[in-house]
Structure 1
Amino acid sequence: MTSYSRLSDRVSEIKPSGIRRFFDLASQMENVISLGVGEPDFVTPWNIREESIFSLERGYTAYSANAGLIELREAISHYMETRFAVSYNPDTEILVTVGASEAIDLGMRAILNEGDEVIIVEPTFVSYAPLVTMAGGVPVPVGTSAETNFEVRPADIEAAVTDKTKAIMICYPNNPTGSSISKKCLEDIAAIVRKHNLFVFSDEIYAELAYDKEHVCFATLPGMKEQTIVINGFSKAFAMTGWRVGFALAPPDLLGAMLKIHQYSLMCAPTMAQYGALEALQHGMDDVERMKLSYQQRRNFFVKTAKEIGLPCHHPDGALYAFPSIAHTGFTSEEFAEALLKEERVAVVPGSVFGEGGEGHIRCSYATSLTHLEEALERIGRFLRRLELR
């Protein structure tokens, strides 16, 4: 009898999400304040929920077009043109996906051949490297540091380029650091892309949650629209995480390849969720501004208080996260997170799960109430004071 492995070697080598591990640990304990999961604490605005319910009442329960409702794609096109001054054809350059994560997966599988390299700016979201690996590619990390406010140095990207490099993966505002990328830095990255004829995955899911810098869509830079897959969606800005609606923007040849995979793997995003997303774009921007202001206030409170209790923390430009340093404690980020959860019932995510450059930090989501943030920081301060006495 032929011997074989029951599981794919490629999948077996991928580690489970470190974020979910700490979330699962916290869920089994009482009196835990979670700063772990990057999810808005707002309920999806009522008009969005109502429109989705109304679509069900009208009997709109069939498949949509594979690429998504044409009305939604037209609204996305209008949104990108009015908000970021970049034009996309709703028929050939926009794909509605099951969350932004599917859009990244589709893009990786559409362009990568076995052994192709993707440069990934770290610390970064935990799914990027595994998605590259599952598509047959090789993730190549390029680190950043708190000294540069976690903004990548283009020279480091240039140094990582080889004859196997196919794409660069960026995310801004960033998860987990909250840092954004200046226009000058984006322009320098674009120059590297032109020089080496690369693709760019630009994850801009937090574009509407940029507090201190005007968000610049990477595809608006000269020559970049043809080289870029822009990733965005409704989860963060519109508090629609469970709805699982995202979108990809790409030139027709790339979009067509992604659509081909999407057709066979998922068919289409849920129809009722797409109607909710349409309502979000048409009538939801006031709610986005309201939620954004609240997040900004919480960010300011968290960073100020973290520094006061002895937790060094850079100033995040956007998203929902702070990335304070715990290097001075002598603990690894995982040791610190586990001890904090055990002793003070505060759940954070160790920075090491976001790449080697995340070691020495913890990710704290401030998308929770000010009352919970105040209590969490009081507990963290108490924990730090005990560490000093050990």
Structure 2
Amino acid sequence: MKELSNRTAEFTDSVIRRMTRISDQYGAVNLSQGMPDFEPPKEILSRLVEAAMEGPHQYATTWGAKNFREALAFKQNHFSGMKIDPNTEIVVTCGSTEAMMAAMLSVTNPGDKVIIFSPFYENYGADTILSGAEPIYVPLIPPEFKFDANVLEEAFKQNPKALILCNPSNPTGKVFTREELQLIADMAIKYDAYIITDEVYEHIIYAPYEHVYMAALPGMKERTITCSSLSKTYAITGWRLGYVIAPERIIDRIKKVHDFLTVGAAAPLMEAAVVGLRFGEEYYKEVQKHYAHMKNLFLKGLDDIGLKYIEPQGAYYVLVDIREFGYQNDLEFCEWLAKEVKVGAVPGSAFFKEEVNHLIRLHFAKKDETLQLALQNLSSIYVKAAKGN
């Protein structure tokens, strides 16, 4: 029989989702896949019940229901300080995963180069390959995960079509400073490149850090494609409501790509989520307070156990150093951790282009009792590691 697609020949399954399956297999506390186990806001759920009975149940406008786009523009106008036109500058997608893919397919041609900071969320490499583009990896140097400006400029000198920026970063929790973003912006302007941002964790920031919108920097709105979703901010990862915000010239192209990728997002879910998009600023302050509580609870527990980690500035992940356990393969360590310690994690090698096998990613978007159970299980890690050796 004829061979299958060359572009997908080297694909593996998602390591993150694989670790969820392994966690389930061994009955481990799943701190691998980044999904909360607490409920979304009651106001959104109440509206969902009404929408389930009253509708809408048929196709919405392909690029998103009008009231959803208007509510989203209202929210983003407030936080970014930019004026966003809900009719010409927004496309609602099936999660930020589709938003990123639609952006990449709309911007790049086969053979174009795209800059990706490493470590990176695993989908970015796949998006680049599916688009037929060639990734240029620029390392973020731990533990601060800063980049070398000279290395970045060398990447820009290769004439990339775009740079992908995750801010706050998954998996590192890095929040890019205004100065870092301005440096990236200056290079994007100098070398005429687009910036595709993933800002899904924009409201999960820990003091004293703050989120700066790339598109809001001088001269950047015209070349920034902002991708995000409602998944993390409202604890509705399963609803798959994402979006792209970009200038009309770019959105016109993304609308067409999106139309043939998924047609449109779920109409009743958009209807229910409008309530959340209209929340006042107090809600987002509570989100930050809640996540700061979970972070502090979990990191204190890691301290008490004696595990070494890199403290996140944003998002809800923490990279834990496992060198002391003597494993040369972080995937094998994570499988052992799920089976013997009953905690699910993601091997750091899933995120790095460089040879990195000494970090694992845990997430802490969980109820207190879930985190306490995970910490209780982790407290046995040294005893079980000693027995294993």
Indicate the TM-score class for this superposition, using the shorter chain for normalisation: over 0.9
Select between 348-357 and 375-384 the one with higher mean Cα deviation.
375-384
- Structure 1, unaligned stretches of length 5 or more? none
Partner Cα distance (2:118, 2:366) in 1? 25
Select between 149-158 and 17-26 the one with higher mean Cα deviation.
149-158
Partner Cα distance (2:161, 2:383) in 1? 48
Partner Cα distance (1:268, 1:369) in 2? 32
- Residue 197 of structure 2 is matched in structure 1 by 202
- Residue 180 of structure 1 is matched in structure 2 by 175
Instruction: Give how far 1:307 is off.
Output: 3.2
- Residue 366 of structure 1 is matched in structure 2 by 364
The one-letter amino acid of 2:349's match is: S
Partner Cα distance (1:337, 1:48) in 2? 36
The one-letter amino acid of 1:215's match is: H
2:255 equivalent to 1:269: no
- Residue 336 of structure 2 is matched in structure 1 by 339
Partner Cα distance (1:285, 1:359) in 2? 41
Instruction: Judge conservation of contact 1:154–1:185 (CA < 8 Å) in 2.
Output: no
Instruction: Judge conservation of contact 1:126–1:353 (CA < 8 Å) in 2.
Output: yes
Alignment of 1:129-140 (within 5 A): 129-140=125-136
Two-structure CA RMSD over aligned residues (Å) = 1.8
The percent identity for this pair of structures is 31
- Residue 185 of structure 2 is matched in structure 1 by 190
Choose which of 251, 262, 265 in structure 2 pairs with 1:255: 251
Deviation per residue, 1:143-165 (Å, 9 max, x gap)? 22323x22333333212234341
Alignment of 1:320-339 (within 5 A): 320-331=316-327, 332-339=329-336
Partner Cα distance (1:265, 1:74) in 2? 23
Choose which of 157, 161, 167 in structure 2 pairs with 1:166: 161
Instruction: Judge conservation of contact 1:173–1:207 (CA < 8 Å) in 2.
Output: yes
- Structure 2, unaligned stretches of length 5 or more? none
Deviation per residue, 1:206-233 (Å, 9 max, x gap)? 0011122121111011111111100111
Choose which of 8, 11, 17 in structure 1 pairs with 2:8: 11
Please give the TM-score of this superposition, normalised by the length of structure 2.
0.93
Report the CA distance shift for 1:159/1:310 in structure 2 as closer, same or farther (over 3 A): farther
Choose which of 293, 298, 303 in structure 1 pairs with 2:289: 293
Partner Cα distance (2:232, 2:281) in 1? 13
The one-letter amino acid of 1:275's match is: E
- Residue 146 of structure 1 is matched in structure 2 by 142
Q: How many residues align?
A: 385
Instruction: Judge conservation of contact 2:19–2:33 (CA < 8 Å) in 1.
Output: no
Report the CA distance shift for 1:344/1:369 in structure 2 as closer, same or farther (over 3 A): same
Instruction: Give how far 1:287 is off.
Output: 4.5
Report the CA distance shift for 1:371/1:56 in structure 2 as closer, same or farther (over 3 A): closer
Select between 215-224 and 36-45 the one with higher mean Cα deviation.
36-45
Please give the TM-score of this superposition, normalised by the length of structure 1.
0.93
- Residue 76 of structure 1 is matched in structure 2 by 72
Select between 203-212 and 363-372 the one with higher mean Cα deviation.
363-372
Instruction: Give how far 1:108 is off.
Output: 0.4
- Residue 28 of structure 1 is matched in structure 2 by 25
